[in-house]
Chains A and B, each alone.
Chain A
């Protein structure tokens, strides 16, 4: 039986439309299967990518607030009846949520930003920014496992959380030291979940632009510990983590010649496999290392 559809405003961000297309495609399909329709914000703009950390830098929060105004407009125009804005990219999630909290807690800052964008409606502070994983956690127990057609039995997967969905504490969606939110989903689709303490260690993030070898050393620590614990694949929800953990394996091998490659997926790709979706919706890259188990 197909579930009733609930519509949520959805913010994709730049990377989900380009290098992480497979994340968006697989996530939208999985959401639909679970009765969630992610309705893209009209005229969305860059979230700012990183939350500006100095106290005297309001201008860098403007972009995020403009996206929150779009959510108000969607509700006003009847496109959705839902104030919770869903994100997939961990960086967008973190930036939008932090800016939202900042302006809600500082009416004076919000007023300044509203005045600056005088051609837009005022942001009223009624939007809540959430991550898609939080929506999945809210579903009835069994909602995911009931829809599994091809359980990932025997596949040992290490969930990798990275930083921005866990920290800082006021925006984190799970225990910053002992997260389980992705592992629960992997377990629901039948995979064997490999927990290890490196799942929350930074991958090096944007340092990848400037210092590939420092990133490669971090990536090696993260991947080799997961491998030592028996993982056959890694999943994540951040396109930058995914890039560092996957593409920087080339640099890892240059430093550690004995390192063996390990595939990296978005959690939604493995959900898509388990839901029995075709290759187009699972979004495997033709050049990507995919365990045979998943291709059967």
Chain B
């Protein structure tokens, strides 16, 4: 007898919301793991990119607590390699945006050391603020 994973109604809503925001058909992911094998940040992550995709497929909103969604640097390595043509960077961004749109910032710009602020190139600061603040 085949094992079946059941998705309850609430969980389906989460999957639908992330699919809509990211524009990705997340259910296409077949868990091959190419993304996790390609990700330069994977050793820093608590769940792998493929686990992130699986959690979204199953509508597990706990994925929002994963460090992984903030460690994705939008380098698009998985994007060019995914055999299903999925853009995981868009999924990670959608997950970040769910949090940031509640006006919950991931970094506190005021807490950055002054010498860092002086030295960092503008594109680092602006990109950091775009990705980590709402």
Q: Which residues of A approach B to under 8 Å, CB–CB?
A: 13-15, 18-20, 46, 48-50, 52-57, 60, 89, 91-92, 163, 166-169, 172, 176-177, 200-202, 204-211, 214, 217-218, 239-240, 243, 247
Q: Is the interface of A mostly helix, strand, loop or mixed?
A: loop
The 8 Å CB contact of A168, one of B87, B107, B124, is B87
Give 25 A-B contacts (CB < 8 Å), ordered by A residue.
A15-B121, A15-B123, A18-B122, A48-B130, A49-B126, A50-B74, A53-B90, A54-B22, A54-B23, A54-B94, A54-B97, A163-B75, A167-B80, A200-B77, A202-B75, A205-B74, A205-B124, A206-B131, A207-B73, A208-B120, A209-B124, A210-B132, A239-B123, A243-B120, A247-B119
- B122 vs chain A, min Cβ distance (A): 4
- A171 vs chain B, min Cβ distance (A): 9
Q: Are A209 and B73 in contact (CB under 8 A)?
A: no
Q: Is the interface of B mostly helix, strand, loop or mixed?
A: helix
Q: Are B123 and A201 in contact (CB under 8 A)?
A: no
Interface centre among B44, B120, B124 (most CB of A within 10 A): B124
Which residues of chain A are within 8 angstroms of B76 by Cβ–Cβ distance? 163, 167-168
B interface residues, tally (CB under 8 Å):
40
0/1 interface trace, chain B 73-89, chain A, CB 8 Å (1 if under): 11111011000000101
Known: A168-B87, A214-B71. A55 touches B21 (CB 8 A): yes
Which residues of chain A are within 8 angstroms of B80 by Cβ–Cβ distance? 166-169, 172, 176-177
Which residues of chain B are within 8 angstroms of A211 by Cβ–Cβ distance? 44, 71
Name the residue of chain A whose CB is nearest to the CB of B90: A53
What separation, in Å, do the CA atoms of A166 and B116 have in the docked complex? 28
